[in-house]
Amino acid sequence: MDPKLFLDTQISIDVGKRLIDQRTWARVWRHVTTKFQYVISPLTLCELLRGVASGTESYFNENREAIRVLVPPHKRKHLLDLPAGFVLKTVLNRRQRDPSLWAQDYETWVKVVLRARTKNELEAGDVQLAHGSARTYGFDSHLHVAQLMQGERVHLEQLQALRNGNLHVPSHLAWAAGILNRQGLRPSDEDCRKVAASLEAAFHFDLSLYDRARNSNYNFEKHATDWIDGQQLYYLSDPQMHFLTRDRRLQNWIKGSSQANRVLDFNSFAP
């Protein structure tokens, strides 16, 4: 089985805005598609949809170009489960029903967003997917990013509690137990050990965040998306998974992890 790879959000944005040369991207994409099984993180897609939702009409086309990069046409695509559910299935062989909006047909959402002529048409539900069809579609992008924003809010509250001394840095096993508890499970010691071992990079990342949270100069609001970066690392619980990024800071934060070699630097793909 080919190793798997997913993109971070910034790569999609930078390619869409032509901040990455198109010939460079063509070489990188050729390498990705020949050496890896390309998969899509729902967090990456959700961040890009948030850009569409929060952007003005004048930036509508520019903001959705990143989605075209992430979800290329005529390419078989697989959307991963949400991070915690992915870990449960991959590490513990437990499948939970995903009550989130991601359980629906994401490819239809993407088609609707990309087919819309304007943001107003998208929000009004006036998008036609089939020429001549009377049926029209819309997309409430704010609804689809609500879960993402909730996760960020909880993350910021935890960091503030840590700074205030109301929360202590957990051990690796206690950290893993917290993930399982939030999924409504009563974890055994063995479950905690398995999850902890499979999420070494994510734990290293969180430890780095905890250190910064205790620094009074660290601005939580400006770094709200750090939570998403940490969640992306959950996918490394699959030994075949690789993460392509331009984020040197993230790479530095996890360099002590045994999984760090599966977080790949974009520049190494684009000599």
Mean pLDDT of 26-34: 93
Residue 138's pLDDT is 80
pLDDT of residue 124: 85
> Using one digit for the tens of pLDDT, what is the confidence trace for 242-256?
999 999 989 999 998
Measured at the alpha carbon of residue 146, what is the angle toward residues 143 and 149, in degrees to the nearest 5? 155
Say what percent of the chain tops pLDDT 70: 91
Helix axis angle for 42-54 and 106-115, nearest 10°, is: 30
pLDDT of residue 136: 86
SS3 label, residue 224: coil
- Residues 241 and 4: beta-carbon distance below 8 Å: yes
pLDDT surpassing 70 at residue 8 = yes
Question: Going by C-beta distance under 8 Å and a sequence separation of 6 or more, which residues neighbour residue 70?
Answer: 7, 12, 40, 44, 45, 48
Spatial contact of 237 and 86, defined as CB atoms under 8 Å apart: yes
Q: Is the dihedral of CA 90, 92, 94, 96 positive or negative?
A: negative
The confidence score (pLDDT) of residue 158 equals 80
In sequence order, what are the residues at sequence separation of 6 or more whose Cβ sits closer than 8 angstroms to the Cβ of residue 122? 112, 113, 116, 138, 139, 141
Name the pairing type of β-strands 37-38 and 241-245: unpaired
Over the range 89-99, which residues count as b (16 or more CB within 10 Å of their CB) and which as e? ebbbeeeeeee
Q: Name the band, by pLDDT with cuts 50, 70 and 90, for residue 46.
A: confident
Average pLDDT over residues 112-130: 87
Nearest alpha carbon to residue 80 among 88, 72, 260: 88
Provide the phi-psi class of 74: left if phi over 0, else alpha when psi is between -120 and 50, else beta: left
| C-alpha to C-alpha distance for 209 and 126, rounded to whole angstroms | 43
Q: What integer pLDDT is reported at residue 250 of this predicted model?
A: 93
Tokens found for residue 229: 């970066």
Residue 154 has pLDDT above 70, yes or no: yes
- Please tell me which residue, 18 or 107, carries the higher pLDDT value: 18
> What is the C-alpha to C-alpha distance for residues 236 and 4, in angstroms, rounded to an integer?
10
Examine the pLDDT at 270 and tell me if it is beyond 80: no
Answer yes or no: are the C-beta atoms of 201 and 263 closer than 8 Å: yes
Arithmetic mean of pLDDT, 132-153: 73
**pLDDT (average), residues 124-150:** 76
Specify the pTM: 0.89
pLDDT digits (tens, 9 = 90+) for 89-107: 999 998 765 555 554 567 7
Which sequence spans correspond to the domains of the chain?
4-269
Q: Which residues pair with 242 in a beta bridge?
A: 5
CB 23 within 8 A of CB 63: no
- Under DSSP, the state recorded for 140 is -
Residue-level pLDDT at 130: 78
What is the average per-residue pLDDT within 142-166?
75
Q: Which residues pair with 254 in a beta bridge?
A: none
What single DSSP character describes residue 246?
-
pLDDT digits (tens, 9 = 90+) for 202-245: 999 998 888 877 776 777 777 777 888 999 999 999 999 999 99
- The amino acid at 194: K
